[in-house]
Amino acid sequence: MTNAQCPMPNAPCPMSTINPARITKVLPDSIAAEIGFEAGDAIVAINGTRPRDLIDYQFLCADEVLELEVLDAAGKTHSLEIEKDYDQDLGLEFETALFDGLIQCNNRCPFCFIDQQPPGKRTSLYLKDDDYRLSFLYGSYLTLTNLSEREWQRIEQMRLSPLYVSVHATEPEVRIRLLKNPRAGQILQQLKWFQERRLQIHAQVVVCPGINDGKHLEQTLKDLTSFHTGEVPAVASVAVVPVGLTRFRPPEDELIPVTREKAKEVISQVRMLSGQFRQKFGSSVVWLADEWFLIAGEELPSESEYEEYPQIDNGVGSIQLFIKQFATVAAELLPPKVYPQRKLTWIVGNAVEKAFQPILKRLNSVEGLEVNMRALCSDYWGQTISVTGLLTGHDLLLNLKGQDLGDGILLPNIMLKNGELLFLDDMSIEELAGKLNTKILPVGGVEDLIKTCILNVAQV
């Protein structure tokens, strides 16, 4: 790729050190377990190449013969040769997907959640992820403003697609205003780059009233869907999301919250446009996050309207999918009666209180099972309508202390930091359990919710 071809040739090239890939888990009955790998060991190089990240690791491990340089937990270096089937996994998990460090954000978006947090919490809460590798691996959103020519080349050569891109606006001046970065104005050029290489993105548009709504939103959606053409559409889908604000946000951010009236306006506007897109493309292409309907007090779209749920991780259709999955699993797992009797408190954000009533009714139809839903807003963030994932230990303690919580609290684990039993305010569930004098029962999904209701679960 020459400089003329690169959609952002003047972006800085991040300098980084490649650290050994530290192993945290060896899967049982795997090649690695058979060889004798242990947690704490680290892979330094594979066939003479030091992997930068999990993408490199997976690519390098696809060969049938591997020469590994390994650093054990005691600091001793070993050389190993492994023969295996092509593409056969070694069975290792690592403490991070990035062995050369996180590519951080170089924008100053006023609606950034990182900047809307109080100071003094754990360091990881303040890391501004804008890393294309995490986008490819896990579906996190990036802006494309910080990529060097080397990174653009890697995306093309390794076919890292789809990526998930926070677009927000396609008009250069509007996107620059939102991201506070002059490089943000090149988004259409970048989308053309993806299109020419038959690579895909899923787009996100966070609507900030008075900035990128109205005619600007219409222009953005029309521009994005103009790339939804051909066998491999460069823009595979678009999610329209309301801006989320907390009481910790900077006072000069020029943002205003989404009102009920604004939510209704955006719903009407996007539904009209998505109807046009359905006629043209055979797909809506653009979807509204569930939160719009909750703010507006309107009924959620039917489950069938979400097609293949391409934007499920953006809260597009997640409520209807959860309800659908619950009905399926409940028919299989929920018994007519449980013994001994049990009483549980189910914590959710008040945004889903109405939508989850059928689930609550079905759980309480089981003889001997009593589930009380507590639908909370977040005092911690200063929100009157809250999604479940933003509730904190502070919010639970404020609303539940001194109350009869039964045999324990059903706690959706989306409130917790991945891999850790910590809320976003740094309170641990052990601390909360002690202060509430009850069991805390983290649940990971529909099946986990049902099994926790009907089976004995060890106290956390």
Separation CA 40–CA 81 (nearest Å): 20
Would you say 296 and 281 are in contact if contact means Cβ atoms under 8 Å apart? Answer: no
The sign of the dihedral angle between the CA atoms of 297, 417, 141, 184 is positive
**Cα dist from 149 to 162, 172, 211, 387, whole Å:** 19, 21, 31, 39
pLDDT 10s per residue in the chain (460 long)?
333 356 655 454 444 688 999 999 999 999 999 999 999 999 999 999 999 999 999 999 999 999 999 999 899 999 999 999 988 999 999 999 999 998 888 888 888 877 777 777 766 666 778 999 999 999 999 999 999 999 999 999 999 999 999 999 999 999 999 999 999 999 999 999 999 999 999 999 999 999 999 999 999 999 999 999 999 999 999 999 999 888 888 777 889 999 999 999 999 999 999 999 999 999 999 999 999 999 999 999 998 899 999 999 888 999 999 999 999 999 999 999 998 899 999 999 999 999 999 999 999 999 999 999 999 999 999 988 888 999 999 999 999 999 999 999 999 999 997 667 899 999 999 999 999 999 999 998 999 999 999 875 333 3
Please say whether the structural domain 21-94 has been given the CATH code 2.30.42.10.
yes
Nearest to 217 by CA among 195, 201, 235, 238: 238
**Cα dist from 418 to 249, 396, 413, 434, whole Å:** 24, 19, 9, 22
Instruction: State the CATH architecture for 113-316.
Output: Alpha-Beta Barrel (3.20)
- Domains of the chain, by residue range, sit at 21-94, 113-316, 322-454
- Give residue-wise pLDDT tens across range 391-437: 999 999 999 999 999 999 999 999 997 667 899 999 999 999 999 99
Nearest to 179 by CA among 128, 219, 222: 128
Q: Residue 96's CB: how many other CB atoms inside 10 A? A: 14
